[in-house]
A and B are shown apart, each in its own frame.
Chain A
Amino acid sequence: MTLAPDEDLMLQVRDGAGETLGVLFDRYQTPLFNFYSKLTGNRTLSEDLVQEVFLRILKYRQSYRPGTPFRAWIYQIARNARIDHFRKFRREATFEPEMLPPVLPTDSAQEQQEVELLQRALQQLPEEKREILLLCRFQELKYEEIASLLGCELNTVRTRIHRALQELRKNFHQLAQGTLLKKAEAAGNIPPRGGRHEV
C-alpha cells in the first residue's frame, strides 16, 4: 500500500478514499515545506501553505486525470497556492534569514562554513531564480516538468537555471571574500580601515 505509486494513490483519493491522502501527505509534507521555507524563509507561512496545498487537493481532486505525473501536479498546486497567497495578502517580508534551519555540525568546519555561505548566497537571489534552483535541485523535478510548471520552453528553463547558477556563484564569491576579509581582520593581518595596525 505505502509503496504504491503516487498516481495510484491520488486516483484513490479522487474516487473518494480521503484517508489515502495521508500517505501522500507523509511523502510530500517535508519536500513541500522545504520548498516554501527556502523560498520565503518563514516557517509559519510555509506550514500554512502546505496545509493549503492538501486542502486544495481535496477540493480539486476531481480534476486529477489518470496519467498526470503527481509530482508535477502537486507542485503546480503549490506554486498557485503561494501566488494566490501573496496576491491576497500583501507581502509582509521578503526573506527572514533568522528563520533558516541551523546548519548541522559536520566533520569539516570548512564545509559547514561553505554551506552557510551558500545558504546566504541563495537567499540573495531574486525569488524566481531561487525558485527554479529549488525546483530542480531539491524537488528533483525534471526540466520538462519545470517548463510546463512555469509555462515556458525547455530551452528557457535551461537558460534560467544557468543564469541562476551564475548569479549564485557571484553572490557566493562576494560572501566568501567578505568572510575572508573579516577573518583576516580578526587575526590582525590587515589594518582596520583608516587606522593604524594595532598590535
Chain B
Amino acid sequence: MKCEPISELLPDYLQGSLSAEQRHTVEAHLEQCADCCEEAALWKKLSLLPVDQPSPASRERFEALLQAYQAGRSNQPKGGSEWRKRFASWNIFHWLRSPLGAAAWSAAVLIIGIFAGLQIANSKSSSQEISVLRDELTSTKQLVVLSMLQQQSASARLEGVTWSTREQQLDPQVLSALLHTLRYDQSVDVRLAALDALSRHGRQPQVHKGVLDSLQQDQSPLVQVALIDLMLEWRDRDAAHRLQELEQTPNLNPTVRQRVEWAKSKLN
C-alpha cells in the first residue's frame, strides 16, 4: 500500500484515536514501510526529550506579581466583592431589565424600526439615508457608553467600557470620558478595562498623552505594569524619561520596579 492514504491516518494513529480496523491498517503498513515506521518511532522518542526546569526565582517573581495584584485590589472600596459577584452572574438579560438597558434598547429598537420601515416603504432608499441612520445608531450607542461610565455600580461602568470597544471610531467626548475613568475610577478592574479600550486609540495624540500621563498618578501596580507595557508598544518618545520619573517614586512596588528595569533594557 502507498504511504499517501496512511499518512492521513498517521497523526490520529499516533494520538490513539483510530478505530481498531484503521489501526490494523496503519500497523500493517508500518511493518512494510521504513519511512512511516521511522516517523512513528520518532514521535515516540519525542517524549524522551528532557524536561527543563525553570529557575526557583521564577516562583518568587510570580509571588511578587500576585502580591502586587492583591495590593491593588485591597485599595478598592469595600463592597467590591458584591459588585464582582453581580458582574459574575451578569448577563445580557439582567442588563436588559435594568432601566438604563431598557432605555438604550428602546432607542435602538426604535431606530431599527425606522430603518426597517424606510426599507419597506422605499426599497430604493438612498445610501445617504442609511448612513444617516447608521450614524444615529452609533451615536446612540456612544450615549449609552457615556451614561454607563457615570453609574454608581462598578459593574455597570465596566460594561460601559466594554461597550466602547465595539465601535471602531469613538467621539472625542467618549474618549475623554474613558480617560477620566482611567484616571479617577476607584475600581482597578474598571481602570484596567478603560486602559485596554484606550490602547486601541493610541494614535490620537490626546489619548496617547492622557494615558501615559496617568502613569505617575495610578497607585495600582497592575495598572502601572499595564501602562509600562503600553508605553513600549506605542514606542513613546518620552518613554525613558517617564520610566526614570516613575523609578524615583518613593515606595514603588517591587514588581513595578522590576518591570521598569525590564522596560529600560528593552529601550536600549
Contacts and interface: CB of A to CB of B under 8 A. Distances in A.
The finding on whether chains A and B are genuine partners in a shared complex, rather than unrelated, reads: yes
Interface of A: 14-16, 18-19, 21-22, 25, 29-30, 33-34, 37-38, 43, 46-48, 50-51, 54-55, 58-59, 62, 84, 88-89, 101-104, 111, 114-115, 118-119, 122, 133, 136-138, 142-143, 157-159, 161-162, 165-166, 168-169, 172-173
B185 interface: no
B42 A104 contact: no
Contact of A58 (B53, B69, B193): B69
Contacts of A38: 49, 52
Nearest to A29: B54
Contacts of B48: 111, 115, 118
Contacts of B45: 114-115, 118
Contacts of A114: 45
B213 interface: no
Interface string B151-162: 000000010000
Nearest to A140: B15
Contacts of B189: 62
B69 A18 contact: yes
Contacts of B10: 162, 165
Interface in B175-199: 189, 192-193, 196
A55 B61 CA distance: 11
B62 interface: yes
Given A50-B54, A169-B35, A88 B232 contact: yes
Given A88-B232, A143-B15, A161-B11, A101 B50 contact: yes
B225 interface: yes
Contacts of A137: 43, 46-47
Interface string B55-68: 10111011101100
Contacts of B225: 55
Nearest to B162: A62
Given A62-B87, A62-B193, A104-B50, 4 more contacts: A54-B65, A88-B233, A142-B15, A165-B39
B238 interface: no
B46 A118 contact: yes
Contacts of B196: 59
24 contacts: A16-B80, A18-B69, A18-B70, A22-B62, A25-B59, A29-B58, A46-B54, A47-B55, A47-B58, A51-B58, A51-B61, A55-B225, A58-B222, A62-B87, A88-B232, A101-B51, A102-B50, A115-B45, A115-B49, A165-B10, A169-B38, A169-B39, A172-B42, A173-B38
B17 to A, nearest CB: 8
B84 A15 contact: yes
B54 A47 contact: yes
B139 interface: no
A34 B57 CA distance: 16
A33 B58 CA distance: 10
Contact of A55 (B15, B39, B65, B232): B65
Contacts of B87: 62
